[in-house]
Amino acid sequence: MSEKVLQYNKPSLQGSLTVPGDKSVSHRSVMFGSIATGTTTVEGFLLGEDCLSTIDCFQKLGVHIEVEGTSVKIESPGMDSWQEPTEVLYTGNSGTTTRLMLGILAGSSVHSVMTGDASIGKRPMRRVIDPLRQMGAHITGRADGQYTPLAIQGTKLQAIEYNMPVASAQVKSAILLAGLRAEGTTIVRETEVSRDHTERMLRQFGADVEVKDGVVSLEGGQALSGTHVSVPGDISSAAFFLVAGAICHNSQLTLENVGVNPTRDGIIEVLSKMGATMTVMPNDNSQAEPTATIQIQTSTLSGTTIEGDMIPRLIDEIPILALLATQAHGQTIIKDAEELKVKETDRITAVVAELKKLGANIEATNDGMIIEGPTPLKGASLKTYGDHRIGMMGAVAALMTEGPVTLDDAQCIAVSYPSFFEHIEAVR
């Protein structure tokens, strides 16, 4: 672990930033480029540890992948020519890699074993494995497949119709990726729409996917062809600077090329509801993922309620939104967010515990939290729980505190935002 002491003395933040590439899109660009036949080029790739784990897994399957800066070139002969890996596929801290790989490997022609770090070893996998087993997948693992390590024997699959019990892009994507290799039409029904990066990228690689009224349909046996992918800036990473710009005094920040996919833009809607002084300027988009330039400045904020179908659109931003709420006038309620309990850590418990150390007036509930503000924050020693988003929340809090903030493990932030502290220095 890498302890880091942060003392910023309440700076005003000024300037422009381009945040790293979207993590979800970066993962999928490598996955789809490896499934496809031919050459795929990717620009704006996120060089975070999670996405590098995805590259490593496919290299072990015999896919030729070159990385030069934030550009990636993938040359794949297609899934039927993959090599059976001689080593365990190690997914690190990446839930996306682990869960989506299950869907891909289930319909492959290889046998593989997959595991991750200690955090992944605690995260539930049956939510993915159960529908895959309904399709005929042969997957075994600890606690009957609830936890890694997992062994996957690729086999022929049958399409299913699946009603999603919880909004999860990872579960939906795993089923759809298995559906590519299944006999028949795979249908996934959502009651709350989750991230649609997989559906968009399937089309980009030449697949026919139908999406209507929360129902996604995919005919099996479709072949993908290599293409070019331009990765937008990650809105979940941008969220930390959007919040910093809103709560730090005399601040004005511009964030360039931010992905504003409508299944991911909940942070923008919440900031607007709370009264943030913010301008969103859409770019001329020809790519599958829409982008925008976002300007934000110091704002007088009011508490709000974040609930229901908003939650899947900002599930990864809730830690930083909780910090934002400590500086808003009145009460902020976050509910319907039980999914936070099965992230890198139990983020409800972790966020409340660490913000309390800073002096926040915050209480946990069964499905979220209640925050009263505004509250002056003080320095403290914080745990990150090895969770990149908790770590970045603590670092942004340090911009507001009287006294230093110590993070017990700042290195975990490199999972999604390797240049995070450099970017803080660039604008303070």
- Kindly list the domain boundaries of the chain, sorted by start residue: 4-21+232-427, 23-230
User: Is 133 annotated in some ligand binding site?
Assistant: no
- Rounded distance between C-alpha atoms, residue 46 and residue 43, angstroms: 9
8 A C-beta contact, residue 356 and residue 378: no
User: Is 95 annotated in some ligand binding site?
Assistant: yes
- H/E stretch holding 158: strand 157-158
| CATH code given to domain 4-21+232-427 | 3.65.10.10
User: Is 343 annotated in some ligand binding site?
Assistant: yes
8 A C-beta contact, residue 361 and residue 355: no
User: Is 24 annotated in some ligand binding site?
Assistant: yes
User: Is 146 annotated in some ligand binding site?
Assistant: no
| Model pLDDT, residue 338 | 83
User: Is 127 annotated in some ligand binding site?
Assistant: no
User: Is 33 annotated in some ligand binding site?
Assistant: no
Q: Token match 């303070």: residue? A: 428
Known catalytic residue at 316: yes
Torsion of CA 167, 168, 169, 175, to 10 degrees: -110
Q: Which segments of 220-271 are extended strands (E)?
A: 228-230, 252-259
Name every residue whose Cβ is closer than 8 Å to that of residue 78 and which is 6 or more positions away in sequence: 35, 36, 37, 223
User: Is 347 annotated in some ligand binding site?
Assistant: yes
Name every residue whose Cβ is closer than 8 Å to that of residue 3 and which is 6 or more positions away in sequence: 406, 407, 408, 409, 410
8 A C-beta contact, residue 191 and residue 162: no
- Rounded distance between C-alpha atoms, residue 296 and residue 14, angstroms: 10
Strand 368-373 to strand 330-334: parallel, antiparallel, or no bridges (unpaired)?
A: antiparallel
User: Is 316 annotated in some ligand binding site?
Assistant: yes
Name every residue whose Cβ is closer than 8 Å to that of residue 141 and which is 6 or more positions away in sequence: 125, 129, 147, 148, 149, 150, 151
| Model pLDDT, residue 341 | 67
| Model pLDDT, residue 1 | 66
Assessment of whether the complete model's pTM goes beyond 0.85: yes
| Model pLDDT, residue 288 | 87
- Rounded distance between C-alpha atoms, residue 22 and residue 316, angstroms: 13
Q: Token match 């937008």: residue? A: 232
| Model pLDDT, residue 166 | 86
Q: Cis check for the bond before 77: say yes or no (omega within 30 of 0).
A: no
What CATH architecture is 23-230?
Answer: Alpha-beta prism (3.65)
Which member of 316, 346, 408, 409 is catalytic?
316
| Model pLDDT, residue 270 | 97
Q: Token match 């709350």: residue? A: 192
User: Residue 340 has what DSSP assignment?
Assistant: G
Which pLDDT tens digits describe the chain residue by residue (428 residues)? 689 999 999 999 999 999 999 999 999 999 999 999 999 999 999 998 999 999 999 999 999 999 999 999 999 999 999 999 999 999 999 999 999 999 999 999 999 999 999 989 999 999 999 999 999 999 999 999 999 999 999 999 999 999 999 889 999 999 999 999 999 999 999 988 899 999 999 999 999 999 999 999 999 999 999 999 999 999 999 999 999 999 999 999 999 999 999 999 999 999 999 999 999 999 977 678 999 999 999 999 999 999 998 888 898 999 999 999 999 999 999 999 887 766 667 898 999 999 999 999 999 999 999 999 999 999 999 999 999 999 999 999 999 999 999 999 999 998 889 999 999 999 99
- Rounded distance between C-alpha atoms, residue 270 and residue 262, angstroms: 13
Instruction: Find, among 247, 234, 259, 233, the residue nearest to 396 by Cα.
Output: 247
8 A C-beta contact, residue 315 and residue 389: no
| Model pLDDT, residue 309 | 87
Determine the residue type at 393: M
State the Cα angle at 310 between 307 and 313, rounded to 5°: 140
Q: Token match 């988003």: residue? A: 389
User: Residue 7 has what DSSP assignment?
Assistant: -
- Which tokens go with 313? 């659109």
4-21+232-427 and 23-230 share one fold: yes
8 A C-beta contact, residue 393 and residue 405: no
